[in-house]
Amino acid sequence: MSLVIKKILVAIRRHIHHVSWASVVSLLALHMLLTWVCLYGANETELLAINQFIYYYIVTTSTVGYGDLSPSTEWGKLFVALVQIPVGLALFGVVLGKVGQSITGLIKASMTGDKDFSGQTEHIIIFGYHHTRTRKMINYILADNKRIERRILLAVDEAMTHPFSDNLHVDFVRLSSFTEMDELKRVAIDGADKVIVDGADDDQTFTTALKISRLVNEKCHISAYFLDESKSEMLREHCQNVESTSSKSVEILVRSMQDPGSSRIQEELLSTLHGDTQFSLEVGKVKDDLKFEVLFFYFKKHCDATILGIAQNRVGEGLDLNPPLDMVIKQGDILHYMAVERVLSDEVDWQSL
pLDDT of residue 224: 93
pLDDT of res. 256: 79
236 and 130 fall within a common domain: yes
134 & 236 share domain: yes
> Within a domain: residue 173?
yes
Q: Using a pLDDT cut of 90, give the percent of the chain over it.
A: 43
196 and 300 fall within a common domain: no
The answer on 164 and 277 residing in a single domain is: no
Q: For residue 226, list its beta bridge partners.
A: 246
Range 52-70 average pLDDT: 84
Contacts of 224 (CB under 8 A, 6+ apart): 196, 197, 198, 205, 206, 208, 209, 232, 235, 242, 243, 244, 245
Average pLDDT (173-181) is 95
* 67/289: higher pLDDT: 289
* Residue 70: closest CA among 100, 99, 91, 39: 39
How many domains does one find in the chain? 3
pLDDT score recorded for residue 4: 47
Given 247, 274, 293, the domain boundary residue is: 247
Q: Helix/strand/coil (H, E, C) string of the chain?
A: CHHHHHHHHHHHHHHHHHCCHHHHHHHHHHHHHHHHHHHHHCCCHHHCCHHHHHHHHHHHHCCCCCCCCCCCCHHHHHHHHHHHHHHHHHHHHHHHHHHHHHHHHHHHHHHHCCCCCCCCCCCEEEECCCHHHHHHHHHHHHHCCCCCCCCEEEEECCCCCCCCCCCCCEEEEECCCCCCHHHHHHCCHHHCCEEEECCCCHHHHHHHHHHHCCCCCCCCEEEEEECCHHHHHHHHHHCCCEEEEECCHHHHHHHHHHCCCHHHHHHHHHCCCCCCEEEEEECCCCCCCCEHHHHHHHHHHHCCCEEEEEECCCCCCCCEECCCCCCECCCCCEEEEEECCCCCHHHCCHHHC
Evaluate whether residue 253 is within a structural domain: no
Q: Which CATH number characterizes residue 35's domain?
A: 1.10.287.70
Q: Kindly state whether residues 225 and 280 are assigned to the same domain.
A: no
Domain CATH code at residue 318? 3.30.70.1450
In this structure, the answer to whether residues 182 and 268 fall within a common structural domain is: no
Average pLDDT over every residue of 327-350? 92
pLDDT score of 196 more than 70: yes
Give CA separation, 149 vs 30, 188, 193, 307, in Å. 45, 17, 11, 25
Residue 52 domain-assigned?
yes
Confidence at residue 238, expressed as pLDDT on a 0 to 100 scale: 85
Boundary of a domain, candidates 190, 215, 247: 247
The answer to whether residues 241 and 322 belong to one domain is: no
Full residue range of the structural domain in which residue 208 is found: 124-247
> Does residue 198 register a pLDDT over 90?
yes
Clarify whether residues 106 and 141 are in a common domain: no
Q: Examine residue 255 and state whether it is found in any structural domain, yes or no.
A: no
Is pLDDT of 255 > 80?
Answer: no
Residue 228: inside a domain:
yes
Average pLDDT of span 106-128: 87
Across the range 121-129, mean pLDDT stands at: 95
Quick one: 268 and 182 in the same domain? no
Confidence of residue 241 (pLDDT cuts 50, 70, 90): confident
Say how far residue 256 (Cα) sits from the centre of its chain. 39
What CATH number does the domain containing 209 carry?
A: 3.40.50.720
Residue 248 has pLDDT above 90, yes or no: no
- Within this chain, do residues 192 and 225 fall inside the same structural domain, yes or no? yes
The residue among 49, 81, 112 that closes a domain is: 112
Query: What is the longest distance spanned by two Cα atoms in the chain?
Result: 100
Instruction: Provide the pLDDT for residue 18.
Output: 63
In terms of Cα–Cα distance, which of 190, 251, 248 is closest to 222? 190
On whether both 202 and 315 belong to a single domain, the answer is no
Residues whose CB falls within 8 Å of the CB of residue 190, separated by 6 or more in sequence, listed in order: 215, 216, 217
How far apart are the C-alpha atoms of 114 and 186, rounded to whole Å? 9
In a domain, 119, yes or no: no
59 and 138, same domain (yes or no): no
Kindly indicate the confidence band of residue 17, based on its pLDDT and cuts at 50, 70 and 90: low
In this predicted structure, what is the pLDDT of residue 13? 55
Q: Is residue 338 part of a domain?
A: yes
Residue 239 lies in a domain: yes
Mean pLDDT, the chain, as a whole number?
86
User: 162-176, pLDDT tens digit by residue?
Assistant: 999 889 999 999 999
Burial call 229-258: b when 16+ CB within 10 Å, e when fewer: eebbeebbeebebbbbebeeeeeeeebeee
